[in-house]
Amino acid sequence: MTQPTFQTILYQKSPDNKIAYITLNRPKQYNAIDSQLPRDLRSAIRQANTDPSVHCIILKGSGPGFCGGYDLSIYAQTATRGQTHGSQDTSTGYDPLTDYTQMKENTDCFTELFHSHKPTIAQVHGAAVAGGSDIALCCDLVVMAENARIGYPPSRVWGCPTTAMWAYRVGAEKAKRMLFTGDLIDGREAAEMGLVLKAVPEEELEAAVALLADRIKSVPVNQLWMQKQVINGMVEGFLAGSQRLATVFDGITRNSPEGVAFQRLSEEKGFKTAIRERDTPGRSEGYRRVWKSVL
């Protein structure tokens, strides 16, 4: 059977063929998500699932971090008056179905990790931010470097986590704390909160994940699948409804007055400035000026 080729990831196997390594591979862009990466990720997961020798999947990022979220140089900074991948041209009305159809495809690609027949482990260094946290939290197990960061800053403006994994992992109150603030937390706090399995010093991260994978790969594939199905069955109904709502709301956040203001500020001053001003308490005068212009 012809093996798929990938533009945005690397796919490798361990010497004994029992572990598949999927590496997000846009290091110059901090492995930011473009239109191809979700589809490459899904294809790689499916390749590992159809390989009878693979027992476990390890997902990691190349370069300085795991994944910096959606590539805003594509989805925000190059926008032109709402006619972009980020915000629709709303001059004739906003169509939530159009946005939902596009974003649901990406959500389905990310949640392939959750539905994978083979256990999935995220190995997080640097940062798993915004859409990058969506990807990491879809894995069965997450191991972080203590100095790595995770969170969903777009919950402040211009985003809603479409995979809806937060409450499933940490409960309603802690999930609300993270999404009401958009805070980034380090690996230590994420582990203490129960968001991730474990945090270790960065220099020990690869070894810690390898030890975990070595334990998993000694279990028969069918046994691993059965245990995962029992546990996933407890939350799948909850996730289906939450992901549908979150994906609709994600589109609305990007096309709200505040969302359009953020995107226009990204065009005008660059997305780094827009992010800095978005995350400044009270927001800056520049943000307030642009926001008023779209009301």
Torsion over CA: 131, 137, 143, 146 (sign): positive
**pLDDT for 254:** 87
- What kind and span of H or E run contains 37? helix 37-49
Q: Name, in order, each residue with C-beta under 8 angstroms of 26's C-beta and a sequence gap of 6 or more.
A: 8, 32, 34, 37, 62, 71
Over residues 174-231, the pLDDT tens digits come to: 999 999 999 999 999 999 999 999 999 999 999 999 999 999 999 999 999 999 999 9
The CATH architecture that domain 9-255 belongs to is Alpha-Beta Complex (3.90)
Dist CA 258 CA 58 (whole Å): 38
The model's confidence at residue 274, banded by pLDDT at 50, 70 and 90, is confident
Provide the 10 A C-beta neighbour count for residue 157. Answer: 24
Tokens 């990406």 locate to: 106
Over residues 9-44, the pLDDT tens digits come to: 999 999 999 999 999 999 999 999 999 999 999 999
**What residue segments make up the domains of the chain, in order of their start?**
9-255, 256-295
Torsion over CA: 149, 152, 156, 158 (sign): positive
Residue pair 8/28 in contact by the 8 Å Cβ criterion: no
Over residues 152-179, the pLDDT tens digits come to: 999 999 999 999 999 999 999 999 999 9
Give the single-character DSSP code of 112.
Answer: H
Find the length of the chain.
295
- What kind and span of H or E run contains 129? strand 127-129
Over residues 101-143, the pLDDT tens digits come to: 989 999 999 999 999 999 999 999 999 999 999 999 999 999 9
Torsion over CA: 28, 30, 33, 36 (sign): positive
